[in-house]
Chain A
């Protein structure tokens, strides 16, 4: 139970280089294992999803945030609490769609991509696609189906990294038939 004991609300320090290099090794290994970049993107998203569905439990336990009443609140929690807790950055939220179901997370600096330069033969690779999977997986566990995708990436020469989030629907808990 020692693991449980040292799990507090304060974030633990870790070497950012180790983190960045670990993620880099993961992505390059995927690039070696799969023929084309689309498959790698898909795989990263799937891995992220698997992380997300687990991480949300940890997040809810540690952050003590309550239920969000609307998507705007969710966006705030993601940017100001979740990103801060796990990546040590606070992305800004902009570009709300008029209907309030879409927004952008702007990452000024993305810790995953320190040192990284995309080679020319991987122009279709979405290097940080894992993040999209994490967001999708985590929100799915709290009854929100969302779509997350990168629309701008500093690796591709854009000034900032932008993740576009779109709310699709609430997932209703459909109880198995015959149970009340």
Chain B
């Protein structure tokens, strides 16, 4: 269902990025990159309220003709960005939310791996398979 999933560090460099049709990889990278501005905007705009409610899900960042970009930010300011095909209208907000939660849990496991140094690129196989499963689920 998702066509591109990215994990962005606090300092806005990518920790992990995968997109499914590899030929348009650059386009997705660009898309994720642009969305970071929207993420920053959202965080600073409703930063206070966000912290109070502990709401990590940022919702739809911006829709383009073919894709929708969703965002999620952890309390440690690590961002998850997910690009979804617009034609897939069956995908509801709730499902996106649960996908992000799954991603977050998996990311937590990666962080808990003693061989992973925080700030490095994520190379975990478990994380990789989880992302793959989210990408093909409904495709």
A17, B114: Cβ atoms under 8 Å?
Answer: no
Label chain B's interface by main secondary structure: loop
Interface window among A18-26, A55-63, A80-88, A166-174: A18-26
A20, B113: Cβ atoms under 8 Å?
Answer: no
In the complex, the number of residue pairs spanning A and B with C-beta atoms less than 8 Å apart equals 33
A117, B112: Cβ atoms under 8 Å?
Answer: no
A115, B125: Cβ atoms under 8 Å?
Answer: no
Residues of B with C-beta under 8 A to A114: 112
| Chain B residue nearest in CB terms to A116 | B113
B114, A21: Cβ atoms under 8 Å?
Answer: yes
How long is the Cα–Cα vector from A21 to B111 in the complex, in angstroms?
10
**Interface size of B in residues (CB-CB distance below 8 Å):** 11
Residues of B with C-beta under 8 A to A115: 109-110, 112-114
A28 within 8 A of B: yes
A17, B112: Cβ atoms under 8 Å?
Answer: yes
A118 within 8 A of B: yes
Other-chain residue from A17, A21, A23, A118 in contact with B115 (beta carbon distance below 8 A): A118
**Hey, what's the 0/1 contact readout for A103-135 against B, CB within 8 Å counting as 1?**
000000000001111110010000000000000
Residues of A with C-beta under 8 A to B112: 17, 20-21, 24, 114-115
Residues of B with C-beta under 8 A to A28: 114-115
How long is the Cα–Cα vector from A122 to B113 in the complex, in angstroms?
14
How long is the Cα–Cα vector from A17 to B109 in the complex, in angstroms?
11
B114, A122: Cβ atoms under 8 Å?
Answer: no
Q: What's the least CB distance linking B3 to chain A, in Å?
A: 26
How long is the Cα–Cα vector from A17 to B112 in the complex, in angstroms?
9
| Chain A residue nearest in CB terms to B111 | A115
A-contacting residues, B2-40, CB 8 Å: none
A40 within 8 A of B: no
How long is the Cα–Cα vector from A119 to B116 in the complex, in angstroms?
9
A to B CB contacts below 8 Å, 23 in the list: A17-B112, A21-B112, A21-B114, A23-B114, A24-B113, A24-B115, A25-B114, A27-B114, A28-B114, A28-B115, A114-B112, A115-B109, A115-B110, A115-B112, A115-B113, A116-B114, A116-B115, A117-B113, A117-B116, A117-B124, A117-B125, A117-B126, A122-B115
Name B residues whose Cβ lies closer than 8 Å to a Cβ of A. Answer: 109-110, 112-116, 123-126
A24-B115, A116-B113 given. 18 additional CB < 8 A pairs?
A: A20-B112, A21-B112, A21-B114, A23-B114, A24-B112, A24-B114, A28-B114, A115-B110, A115-B112, A115-B113, A115-B114, A116-B115, A117-B125, A117-B126, A118-B115, A119-B115, A119-B123, A122-B115
